[in-house]
Amino acid sequence: MGTRFAKKVLDLHTMQNFLNQLVYFGYFQSLFLLFIYLVSPRRRQSINRYIAFLVVVLTVGLTGRVLYMSGLFGKNFRLITISEFAILFFGATIYLFTRSSLLNKKFSYHELVHYIPGLVYAILIIFLFIIPPETAYRAKFKDGTLLVISTLFAGVGLLFNITYWALSLRLFIRYKKNLQNELSYTVKTQFFLNFLLAIGLCLLCWVVVYFISIYSHQFIARPTHQALWLSIAFIILFIAYYGMTEPDLFKLAPLSKVKKYAQSKLSVRDLDRLKVELDQLMESKKPYLNRKLLKSELAELLGVNGPDMARLLNERIGMSFFEYVNYHRIKEFVALAKTDKAQQLTIFGLAQEAGFNSKTTFHKSFKKLMGTSPGEYFASK
């Protein structure tokens, strides 16, 4: 029994040493990113300011852990409490970062209202954990008050972050859904989705660890909690790095503000006429050959505004803008497949000639319309 316990202690000690090395690595990485941000105007222009702010908060949080591990001010456990300053800033910043990226919103000082709970949280930590004298701190630790307060704080912080993460994910899902109403092409959003899913997975694990700690398994929960905190920190640092080196990953297609059909004053006769004109326009000018055709561009060609175009597609065509344009691209592809070009180009080469810019979109659209894959279609001819 004693041997097994000693082995468990040794394993946790090894894990703690590994985590300490990650803390040092993350800390110097955050300092490096901040240094680049400060000295390079070009990088400063490219990185999202919300992510830059979060890197600052993470640096402050990691500073507390580094000071504790280094022993510069003694092994004062309250130094680690400084890292808690960063806890309540995660969710709000992720949400603001998501919104600014998807909706193309610039940094605004009035958005800082989202950080008020984090600021209150930090002030409470200072007065409850950092300012009190050592004797009062130890007394709270012995009678269990400190554990109750810590558990309550952790629960509030976790709930706060999960709420903001859920809002971020909902915003992303709505953005993806609205793409079909505005764009005729696919936008690379997988990197952004992976970012949100990674944060969500960390928060899920954090919930599990939180409930483990409630049932007094602090021996296991403490290093695991630290590992999860570090995992989120590294995700943020990773995003900050890519925000500087490849900012285009976060420059998604801006969507125009959706206006209600109520603003459309078209009569039933007008809609019928416009449907005929739109069909003629698609046949004669073939605007769908533009691989990045926007709904606003098609509306302009037809001589109507956005709400009228949306109403026409919804009430007379019965398709989203994305589906309607790709329907005509499939028709163009089938027509091209019967020409000499089919002998000179690959299947996707023909699809590109028809206006597609994504192989995945082409295959999905083709199968949905024709009931078979492009390869099977050609094999049957």
Of the ranges 29-38, 90-99, 193-202, 355-364, which one carries the lowest mean pLDDT score? 29-38
Is the CATH number of domain 263-379 3.30.70.890?
no
The H or E element spanning position 264 is none
Q: pLDDT digits over 225-276, tens only?
A: 566 666 766 776 777 666 666 665 555 555 544 444 445 577 888 888 989 9
Helix, strand, coil: what percent of the chain each, to 5? 80, 0, 20
Kindly state the percentage of the chain with pLDDT values over 70: 76
The type of residue at 308 is D
Question: For residue 49, what pLDDT is reported?
Answer: 77
pLDDT score of 181 more than 70: no
Q: Where are the domains of the chain?
A: 2-250, 263-379
pLDDT, position 23: 74
Tokens of 152: 């309550």
pTM over 0.75, yes/no: no
Alpha-helix runs per DSSP H in the chain: 2-39, 41-46, 49-70, 90-102, 116-125, 134-142, 145-182, 190-214, 218-245, 268-284, 295-302, 306-312, 321-336, 341-344, 347-353, 359-370, 374-379
- CATH class of the domain whose range is 2-250: mainly alpha
